[in-house]
Structure 1
Amino acid sequence: MPLLLIPLLILGVLTLWIVLLPISILQRYRHGKARRRARPLAVRLNAWMLLASVPPFLAGAWISQHWVPAALPQAGLGLAVGGMVGILGIWITPIERTPQGLFYTPRAWLVLLLTVLVALRIALGLWQALQRWHVADSLPALLAGQASLFAMAGLLLGYYLMYAWGLKRRLG
């Protein structure tokens, strides 16, 4: 009897994901453009942890090249572009010093751009999966078109890495 409930559980989780995904993307945008207090310890820890995540990311892209052609070059390109966008982002971010501490507000248009890019990449992945749903040997073809996932991940990692290090530098 419990085995009969497994397909219903899977369908329920999938439905919940479909319903909550747009809400989570909207919430990510709302939170991303909010004014924040820069706590020195949190900023330093974030910067170092992001830097520590770059080698495993590149190692994963290197290993993935066995199944996903051009994964490592796409990951590197994404890191480079994301780093440039992160430098631009911290350069244009207004930072205000108050008696309560240092506050910064990321630019809403830049947060919207990154959020839309993530949403478009999710939509592209779903569309590609639906296109190959009925094909028998679709997994190799599906994996061959997924190098842009590494580019998107690199873009976000590079952006947040440079933004965190720029914020750390501005804190002094």
Structure 2
Amino acid sequence: MVTSLSYPTLRLLLYLVLSLSLVNKLIALCPTSQEHPKTCPIQKLSAFEEKAPTVLVFASFSMPQATIKHLAMDLKKVGGALVIRGLINNSFKETAMALQKLGEGVLLDPTLFEKYNVTSVPTFIIFEVDLKDEHPPYDRLTGNVSLRFVLEKVAQEGKIKSAALLLEKLKGGKA
């Protein structure tokens, strides 16, 4: 029996699947052995880690595929996410196939486009994940530039100086 689901229902299901995947990854970070009790990064954060820098890159499948792939690869290195607004040709199947090619670290979330008022792509948002602040400050840059360029610019001239840590990760360091 084939059941037809509405677009909002399918979007909610996709969101739940992506959320569950993220929760499972976070749980996997927590050691369960007796050797490392209470060292789960979710449970025990140092003051420095409470404001860990992160990056979102807003993109569209209308951008050149090589650009999207390069951004996705760089974002994996720094633990950031590629954010896509919507479906390709209003097709979940086409979109799912495109997302699968890009791998992990891709969010399908039009609400983030609204939250950050993104009207052009690519747009880079660099912020510190602040567990105590619902609306942390962020730096923003729009243009067809590399993630490395954005992180260098933000580390030098932006509010989020800890972007230098992401830059070090991108360059292959252990930041």
User: TM-score, normalising length from structure 1?
Assistant: 0.27
Task: Judging by fraction of residues, say which structure has more strand.
Answer: 2
The structure with the larger Rg is: 1
Q: RCO greater where, 1 or 2, for CA within 8 Å and sep 6 or more?
A: 1
